[in-house]
Structure 1
């Protein structure tokens, strides 16, 4: 689970991330931007729309992505904002497929 300090909650920060670097895969799209000051902790936000599936499927995808994103907080630079958007293919993907896709996309957007 992501700690409250590392959660992205406000809409302005989500918008700031979309102005940064972007990388995509079959199951998700990752945006990395900066918002705030240099001493702020890195924050992560998730976007899982109804296109992914019904409420049960969306919540399962969110739980998996939250757990996987927690592993990447340490490698993000200070004040970084990472937004992970799930695509419909994420609904049928396994945990390991999501882990590989997230790691690949985060690696591409890091400077």
Structure 2
């Protein structure tokens, strides 16, 4: 066995994310609790938000689209767009200890320009945190 640089070299350090962790909402009770919290509507989606009791832990986010949005293909496309704007905007504008639910809108979530949806989410988050 030789001691070549490849054998003794350490692996590069894992990338560390500067943004806080964001978890997914999965329980129906969490979605219902968020519905009782603050809300803000925009052209492309509706945002529901609430501060969890205790305010501990990372921000959590859930996504939903009813059958009014369209067939399964349209609902999945709308949810993919909502997931992406949440991934981009929540680390900067969301708060730890809060739950957020993004609800797709019929004939709007899939056609609203992506940049507009990002700006709308940032503005909606600022509004519910007031």
Displacement after TM superposition at 1:54 (Å): 1.4
In structure 2, what is the equivalent of residue 86 of structure 1?
104
CA deviation string 1:66-107 (max 9, x = no partner) = 011012332322220001111112133232232232222222
Displacement after TM superposition at 1:5 (Å): 5.3
| Equivalent residues, number | 108
8 Å CA contact retained: 2:44, 2:109: yes
Q: Structure 1 regions of 5+ residues with no counterpart?
A: none
Structure 2: how far apart are the matches of 1:77 and 1:19? 18
8 Å CA contact retained: 1:16, 1:34: no
TM-score w.r.t. structure 2 length?
A: 0.72
* Higher Rg: 2
8 Å CA contact retained: 2:69, 2:104: yes
Residue 28, structure 1, aligned to residue 45, structure 2? yes
TM-score w.r.t. structure 1 length?
A: 0.83
More contact order relative to length (CA 8 Å, sep ≥ 6):
1
Q: Structure 2 regions of 5+ residues with no counterpart?
A: 1-20
Q: RMSD value over aligned CA atoms? A: 1.9
In structure 1, what is the equivalent of residue 118 of structure 2?
99
SS for the counterpart of 2:39 is strand
